[in-house]
Amino acid sequence: MDATIQFHIEHLFKVLAKRTDLQSNADWMKRALFNVPRHFFIEQYYDHEAYGGIVHVNSVNPTSEQLETIYSDRGLMIREEPHSAASQPALIFEMLDDLKLTHGLKVLEVGTGSGWNAGLIAFAVADDSLVYSIDLQKDLIEKARRHLHSVGFNHVNLRAGDGGFGWDGETFDRIIVTVGAPDIPPAWTESLAEDGILVMPLKTGSVGDPILQLHKRDGKLTGKFTRWAGFMNLQGDFRYSAEEVLEP
C-alpha cells in the first residue's frame, strides 16, 4: 500500500480509537479500515471551495488533499440531486457495533450509498455473499458494485428498489438502515430472524435522529436508543413526511 494512503488511514484510525464507545473493537476497526479502504468508494465529493464545487477522485491515484478529506471523520456529500452522502466514519462504526456482527451472519442494508458500509459488513461477516444491500437509486447501485469489486467483494447482493419492502423471500440475522425512517415498515420486522437485531435511525420531526437498536424475540421488537445522529430521509413508499410525523 502507498505510504501516503497508509498514513491517512492510520490517522483516521487514531481519531476513531480515541472514542470510548469504539475502543473495544479497535483491533477489528483498524483491520477493516485497511482491508476496505474508503477512497475506493468515493468517486467525487462536494466542496464549496473547489472549482465547480465538485472534487473528482481517481481511486488509483488520489491526491494527498483528497485523501486528507476522505480519511477525515466527517460525512461527505457524494451526490447533490437526489442527495446521497457517505456517512461519518465514527457513526458507521458505532452503528456496526450496535449490530453485533460476527462471522456467518446474513445482513440486509437499506441505503447502499457508496457501498463502503456494505464492504465493511462483508469484511465483518467474512463472506460477501451473505450481504444484501438495496438502494432506490439505480446509478448508486452500479457505482457501489464497481467500488466493491475494486476491493475484492464480488458477491455482495445489490438491488435497486424500495428498501421499505425489504428483500423478497429472504430472512436476515441483522438489518441496518442508513436513512431516517418515520416508522418500521412491516417487511423489516417480518424478514428479521428470531433473535436478530435491527439498527435504524428514527425520524421524529425533531433535531437529529435517534438510533434504535432493536432485538426480535417471540416475534416482537424491543430495544433502546443508543445515540443521536443525522441522516437523509428514507424515500419511496415509506418515505419521511414532516407533516405526518408531527400530526397529532
**From 87, 114, 133, 191, active-site residue:** 87
Cα torsion 145, 150, 153, 155: sign: positive
Q: What residue spans define the domains of the chain? A: 3-84, 88-236
pTM of the model: 0.91
**Is the per-residue pLDDT at 237 higher than 80?**
no
Q: CB-based contacts of 158: which residues, under 8 Å, 6+ apart?
A: 112, 118, 132, 133, 134, 141, 144, 145, 148
CA distance 173 to 159: 19
30-85 pLDDT, tens per residue? 999 999 999 999 999 988 776 668 899 999 899 999 999 999 999 998 877 677 88
**pLDDT > 70? residue 212:** yes
Q: What is the pLDDT of residues 92-151, one digit of tens each?
A: 999 999 999 999 999 999 999 999 999 999 999 999 999 999 999 999 999 999 999 999
Annotation: CATH topology of 88-236: Rossmann fold (3.40.50)
Catalytic residue check, 87? yes
pLDDT at position 50 = 66
